[in-house]
Chain A
Amino acid sequence: MSPMTLKPGSSAQSAYNLRSTLPESHERHTLSVLVDNEPGVLARVIGLFSGRGYNIESLTVAETDHASHLSRITIVTTGTPQVIDQIHAQLERMVPVHGVTDLTVLGAHIERELALVKVASTGEKRVEALRMADLMQARCVDVTLESFVFEIAQTSDQIDAFIELMRPLGLLEVARTGVAAVMRGKEPME
């Protein structure tokens, strides 16, 4: 990283991280944050996002290491590259945060979300709903004569698609967990 290779006067479009400050499109990033599972830690993270005006598309949290009381928070956020970098740095400097991984930057990773989708219909629509669920690899976890509850664990896009398919077939309500994500391959995130 030699500043000498930069064109003088390039600061408005600084070569550090090689991005333009010209109108930037928003990017969607998935961040994985390992935190101490202490009281208030989720409020701290959410407070950072609301206080500084960052977006949260989804956020999931649960303790993932019971022995050392560590929780993993997976956040899907959108913003300009500069804002994404800020979010990363702001999260990283929080005292209970052990590490922040920007999975979108790192590349190949798996994202999954779980949804429970309730569909109520009869006759032909009911048959069609069951057939679509089968095609989309959704599992029926509750059934009555007039309804199904499907469980689908997929990427957020595919869940969106499934919900759209169910809409004309008697969609009643949906509960979604938000995204959980890990890197591909044998390397851990931290």
Chain B
Amino acid sequence: MSTEMTGAEIVVQALKDQGVEVVFGYPGGAVLPIYDEIFKQNEIRHILVRHEQGAAHAAEGYARSTGKPGVVLVTSGPGATNAVTGMTDALMDSIPLVVLTGQVPTFMIGNDAFQEADTVGITRPCTKHNWLVRDTDQLADTIHRGFHVATHGRPGPVLIDIPKDVQFATGTYVAPEQARTHTYAPRTRGDRAAIEAAVELLERAERPVLYTGGGVINSGPRASALLRELAAETGFPLTSTLMGLGAYPASGPAWIGMLGMHGTYEANMTMHGCDAMFCIGARFDDRITGKLDAFSPGSRKVHVDIDPSSINKNIRVDVPIVGDIAEVLEEMLAIWRERGAKKRDVSAWWKQIEEWRAVKCLTYKASTSTIKPQYAIERLEALTRGMDRYVTTEVGQHQMWAAQFMGFDEPNRWMTSGGLGTMGYGTPASIGVQVAHPESLVINVAGEASWLMNMQEMGTAVQYRLPVKQFILNNERLGMVRQWQQLLHGERYSHSWSEALPDFVKLAEAFGCKGIKCDDPADLDDAIREMLAYDGPVIFDCVVEKHENCFPMIPSGKAHNEMLLGEASTEGAIGSSGAVLV
């Protein structure tokens, strides 16, 4: 094989050598040479999205469900700027993406050329790193480094901006092994003394909790397996952030539900009352901690994270361990076993947790006339549990209900926009997941407002015969906004409803897929079964109760033990200081 190639050939060769099977993209003037090379080969599959934001979210769904980096190819200017939301989302949720953007030729950069944007300038704060490649000889090396940076350390998006003349010019190809990747080598092995201190805490804890997050899933399946061993051997209760669902099975004995703003009462009370907290691959986000100075006041805290900047950012911890979750857990378990796997009796603590669990915080008022959104998710869960199933969501109330009422027994099965909270994430993400897992059931649990933000991607689903199920909880409201307006803004519902929603069944038909509408709880099971049985994409319009609020809820500015459990206790519960927070 000649090592002299055009830049466009180098791009395709580098992707092949990186083991890339799928690229999500949209062509345009500044990437035409690369698209020409894609046309000439069959190894890499290209999925044509309908909007560049969709490409980025689809690549996120692909990455999150496979553990491999997602690859995006878009043109200069608007192609790149449209992908910015997806890159920011991937940065916040630590999803490895490699985004390739076309750029105007090097001699036109800075001249306000057609479809020119300062892509590396715009994306500097929303990527882990980015490069503008000005020399074809540097192209292969840069792409390989891009994959290395995206997937090592805390994963994240990288962007490589490739001017059109660099794509046409000839340069030397280098293989991945020859690329200069050594300069980026984040530490993966935890400090032995710190791990020993953590084990000592495991042994002494009387009221422990394992608080786990998306880092466990990012670390790979081995980390989830080790976490399960740790939970089984210690018998400690385990809760997880939104991003970490599935790392420990929801059917497991240690599981006490998700924690945080809309987490379970038992999980949040356990966090508040514990004397030893083991934070594994989570980052003490404000949605988790609530009021910072009232957060878990009586506990000693261990924090395992691959990113040193996560340590002590929001919450001071007593034992920081910087390292890869799998490596640290492996060493922690080895030390724990070496020392005889001693632990205190935690049965009294479990008894307390069971009392909290008995509050049944997820209870809602059932109805026979309207479909309660919680009921819809419960039925969806009941009818799909145990299937080879992947779930994506949009952002809002439906997302929280899905997290509360669906159970995940494996990692990489739950794709949601946690950090950035991107409405419009779910539909393209479901497409990315379905591309990676063509035989599996992929459901996007959506709200109608979020769903409309990237509904154009149904065209992609139909074109590539991706049988994604769009399960839309339609309350004709921006439900979470409406809930906050009710609780915080004197019931002034400013612009939080839609008056001109489409007929989703006709919309489905217009896209060439199946539409199902259901508004009667008695018909819901049959309608869901119909959706599952249909061999193709489905848009399911589930018409639900319009004014349902999502509980339990830790109001902004309050502590974990000040949760709101239901409608009755909400009056004046959030002070004016809480209203300032998001």
Contacts and interface: CB of A to CB of B under 8 A. Distances in A.
Interface of A: 1-4, 6, 8-17, 21, 36, 39-40, 43-44, 47, 51, 82, 85-86, 89-90, 92-96, 98
Given A1-B193, A3-B201, A89 B309 contact: yes
Contacts of B197: 1-3
Given A8-B275, A96-B129, 13 more contacts: A3-B319, A9-B297, A11-B316, A11-B318, A16-B312, A16-B319, A21-B293, A40-B121, A82-B316, A93-B186, A93-B307, A95-B184, A98-B183
Contacts of B299: 8-9, 11
Contacts of B253: none
Interface in B164-209: 183-184, 186, 193-194, 197, 200-201, 204
25 contacts: A1-B319, A2-B197, A3-B318, A3-B319, A9-B297, A11-B297, A11-B300, A11-B317, A14-B301, A15-B318, A16-B319, A16-B320, A21-B316, A36-B183, A39-B132, A40-B130, A40-B132, A47-B125, A82-B316, A89-B309, A89-B311, A92-B308, A92-B309, A93-B308, A96-B129
B124 A43 contact: yes
Contacts of A6: 300, 318
B128 A95 contact: yes
Q: Could you say which of B124, B307, B309, B313 has the most chain A C-beta atoms within 10 Å of its C-beta? A: B309
Interface residues of B, number: 41
Nearest to B204: A4
Interface in B296-346: 296-302, 307-309, 311-313, 315-320
Contacts of A94: 129
A176 to B, nearest CB: 27
A15 B312 CA distance: 12
Given A3-B318, A3-B319, A40 B124 contact: yes
B153 interface: yes
B316 A16 contact: yes
Nearest to A94: B129
Contact of B313 (A13, A40, A86): A86
A93 B184 CA distance: 9
B516 interface: no
A4 B312 CA distance: 19
Interface in B138-170: 149, 153-154
A85 B312 contact: yes
Nearest to B194: A1
B124 A3 contact: no
A11 B296 contact: yes
B316 A14 contact: yes
Contacts of B225: none
A43 B121 contact: yes
B309 A95 contact: no
Q: Which 3 A-B pairs have the closest CB atoms?
A: A14-B316, A89-B309, A95-B129
B303 to A, nearest CB: 9
Contact of B317 (A13, A14, A43, A96): A14
A6 B204 CA distance: 13
Nearest to A19: B316
A85 B309 CA distance: 8
A40 B125 CA distance: 12
B120 interface: yes
A94 B121 CA distance: 16
B128 A16 contact: no
B124 A8 contact: no
A93 B313 CA distance: 14
A98 B149 CA distance: 15
Query: Interface centre among A3, A12, A86, A89, by most B CB within 10 Å?
Result: A3
A14 B316 CA distance: 6
A92 B312 CA distance: 15
Contacts of B201: 3-4
B318 to A, nearest CB: 5
Nearest to B309: A89
Contacts of B204: 4
Contacts of B154: 93
A3 B300 contact: yes
A123 to B, nearest CB: 52
A147 B301 CA distance: 63
A81 B317 CA distance: 15
A94 B193 CA distance: 26
Contacts of A89: 308-309, 311
A147 B44 CA distance: 71
Contacts of A96: 129
A89 B154 CA distance: 13
Contacts of A12: 293, 297, 316
Contacts of A47: 124-125
A33 to B, nearest CB: 15
Contacts of B275: 8
Nearest to B154: A93
A90 B309 CA distance: 6
A95 B181 CA distance: 11
Contacts of B311: 89
A43 B193 CA distance: 38
Nearest to A89: B309
A155 B194 CA distance: 40
A3 B319 CA distance: 7
A43 B125 CA distance: 10
Interface in B93-150: 120-121, 124-125, 128-130, 132, 149
Contacts of A44: 124
A1 B197 CA distance: 7
B305 to A, nearest CB: 11
B226 to A, nearest CB: 22
A127 to B, nearest CB: 52
A178 to B, nearest CB: 22
Contacts of B149: 95
A37 to B, nearest CB: 13
B46 to A, nearest CB: 28
Contacts of B316: 11-14, 16, 21, 82
A92 to B, nearest CB: 6
A89 B311 CA distance: 9
Interface in B394-441: none
Given A2-B200, A12-B293, A95-B184, A82 B312 contact: yes
Interface centre among B154, B200, B307, B316 (most CB of A within 10 A): B316
Nearest to A87: B309
Given A3-B197, A3-B201, A16 B124 contact: no
